[in-house]
């Protein structure tokens, strides 16, 4: 069996991550330098919002914002922000909060609704999108165009997830520098390390692909995939879970380590559920996640661990992808999804299933195709 016969878009995107990180970095850095100092300085609170992978890019970047800007940062889903968030959080001081809204197409209805609500209350808004003339861009004060080439493969989203996350990281660094929360040396070092870290990860692609294909053959007939991750790793857990659904329509769930012990632990037929644990060794709950791994061992579930910790830290029976360590812990979500992207991509190809069920009419009728972009937009006052 030759893995080259089972390639698909997600595998290729995971492999090409470095290339696109460099493209986005070059594109967004000059734009971020143009963000006005005064308005950024005014921000007393930051919200990052979006839908699906875009929302999760915000969850992944929250740790970076907190570490680098020292400003309270929240990453609610778009519908929570637009319909549920209390008004008292919006516009209580000039240019505050700073709200960063993410949509690759710039047409996601709920994200546009968030932008309109921000405008109503005088919050500062930055759109992250690949379409600077989109409705989202038109409804935000500032737009960062991630600058992905028009001819790229972006479905299921992995490149776009990374583009959003990298842009968020760079915005955080700019805020940190403007507010003098990080020194010029730290700023330069963080910028350098972002690209160097991605480079180190890309060097492991061949190894990842070989192992991912082997695992995919063993995992393709499992009943479900169950993801576990805490703090920034939670974003990677969600992201992996989303790829299971998007690529091959599998049953999946995701949770943090603590709740997993309370709930998902009890899923029936554990030996038929693949468990994927994302564990950055600087995660504050590292010990708790290791206890969770011991529980998985007792259940007898097949398990993949993606971690920068030594392989010897984990049970021998588990498949450990040892990923490079980043100079700053918050950089990990940028690359730690790559191993499972490859596994998911190969499972989809081995099952012969098209991503997003593109050959099945019921998923792609008029309502199905427009479910994200249409729908009534309202502004809650």
Partner 1 sequence: MVYIKELKIRTGRDSCDIITSQVDRAIKESGILSGVAVVESGDESVGILKIAGCTPEVVEDIRKEMRRLVPARINFTNQDSPENTAGRIKSCFYGSSVSLIVKNGKLLCDEKQDICFTDYDGPQDRTFSVCVYGE
What is the nearest approach in angstroms of partner 1 to the Cβ of residue 30? 12
Q: Does 185 bind partner 1 (CB under 8 A)?
A: yes
- How many residues of this chain interact with partner 1, rule: CB under 8 A? 14
Q: Does 218 bind partner 1 (CB under 8 A)?
A: no
What is the nearest approach in angstroms of partner 1 to the Cβ of residue 139? 23
Decide whether 180 or 359 has the Cβ nearer to partner 1: 180
Q: Does 33 bind partner 1 (CB under 8 A)?
A: yes
Binding mask 144-183 toward partner 1 (x if CB under 8 A, else -) reads: ---------------------------------xx-x--x
* Binder of partner 1 out of 19, 26, 37, 223 (CB under 8 A): 37
What is the nearest approach in angstroms of partner 1 to the Cβ of residue 38? 4
SS3 of the chain: the string is: CCHHHHCCHHHHHHHCHHHHHHHHHHHHHHHHHCCCHHHHHHCCEEEEEECCHHHHHHHHHHHHHHHHHCCEEECCCHHHHHHHCCHHHCCCECCECEEEEECCCCCCHHHHHHHHHHHHHCCEEEEEECCCCCHHHHCCCEEEECCCCCCCCCCCCCHHHHHHHHHHHHHHHHHHHHCCCCCHHHHHHHHHHHHHHHHHHHCCHHHHHHHHHHHHHHHCCCCEEEEECCCHHHHHHHHHHHHHHHHHCCEEEEECHHHHHHCHHHCCCHHHEEEEEEECCCCCCHHHHHHHHHHHHHHCCCEEEEECCCHHHCCCCCEEEECCCCCCHHHHHHCCCHHHHHHHHHHHHHHCCCHHHCCCHHHCCHHHHCCCCCCCCCCCC
Q: Does 38 bind partner 1 (CB under 8 A)?
A: yes
What is the nearest approach in angstroms of partner 1 to the Cβ of residue 179? 8
Decide whether 41 or 363 has the Cβ nearer to partner 1: 41
What is the nearest approach in angstroms of partner 1 to the Cβ of residue 262? 45
* Binder of partner 1 out of 1, 5, 30, 34 (CB under 8 A): 34
Q: Does 44 bind partner 1 (CB under 8 A)?
A: no
Q: Does 30 bind partner 1 (CB under 8 A)?
A: no
Q: Does 141 bind partner 1 (CB under 8 A)?
A: no
Region binding partner 1 by CB under 8 A among candidate stretches 28-36, 55-63, 137-145, 327-335: 28-36
Query: Residues interacting with partner 1, by CB under 8 A?
Result: 33-38, 41-42, 177-178, 180, 183-185
């Amino acid at each position: 069996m030759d893995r080259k016969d089972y390639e698909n878009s997600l595998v290729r995107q995971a492999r090409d991550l470095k290339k696109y990180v460099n493209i986005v970095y070059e594109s967004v850095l000059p734009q971020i330098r143009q963000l006005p100092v005064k308005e950024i300085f005014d921000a007393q609170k930051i919200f990052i919002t979006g839908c699906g992978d875009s929302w999760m890019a915000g969850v992944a970047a929250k740790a970076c914002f907190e570490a680098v800007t020292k400003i309270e940062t929240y990453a609610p889903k778009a519908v929570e922000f637009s319909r549920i968030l209390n008004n008292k959080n919006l516009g209580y001081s000039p240019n505050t909060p700073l709200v960063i809204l993410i949509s690759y197409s710039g047409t996601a209805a709920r994200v546009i609704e968030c932008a309109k609500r921000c405008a109503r209350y005088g919050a500062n808004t930055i759109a992250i999108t690949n379409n600077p003339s989109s409705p989202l861009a038109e409804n935000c004060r500032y737009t960062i165009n991630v600058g992905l080439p028009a001819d790229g493969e972006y479905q299921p989203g992995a490149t776009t997830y990374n583009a959003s996350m990298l842009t968020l990281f760079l915005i955080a660094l700019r805020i940190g520098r403007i507010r003098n929360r990080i020194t010029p040396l730290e700023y330069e070092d963080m910028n350098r390390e972002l690209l160097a870290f991605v480079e180190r990860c890309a060097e492991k692609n061949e190894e990842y692909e070989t192992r991912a294909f082997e695992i995919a053959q063993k995992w393709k007939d499992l009943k479900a995939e169950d993801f576990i991750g805490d703090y920034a790793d939670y974003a990677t857990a969600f992201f992996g879970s989303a790829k299971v659904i998007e690529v091959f329509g599998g049953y999946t769930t995701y949770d943090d380590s603590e709740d997993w012990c309370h709930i998902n632990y009890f899923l029936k037929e554990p030996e038929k559920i693949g468990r994927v644990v994302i564990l950055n060794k600087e995660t504050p709950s590292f010990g708790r996640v290791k206890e969770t791994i011991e529980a998985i061992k007792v259940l007898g579930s097949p398990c993949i661990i993606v971690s920068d910790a030594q392989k010897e830290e984990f049970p021998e029976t588990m498949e450990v992808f040892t990923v490079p360590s980043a100079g700053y812990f918050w950089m990990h979500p940028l690359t730690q999804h790559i191993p499972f992207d490859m596994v998911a991509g190969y499972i989809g190809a081995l099952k012969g299933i098209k991503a997003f069920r593109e050959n099945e009419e019921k998923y792609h009728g008029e309502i199905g195709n427009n479910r994200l972009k249409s729908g009534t937009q309202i502004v809650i006052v």
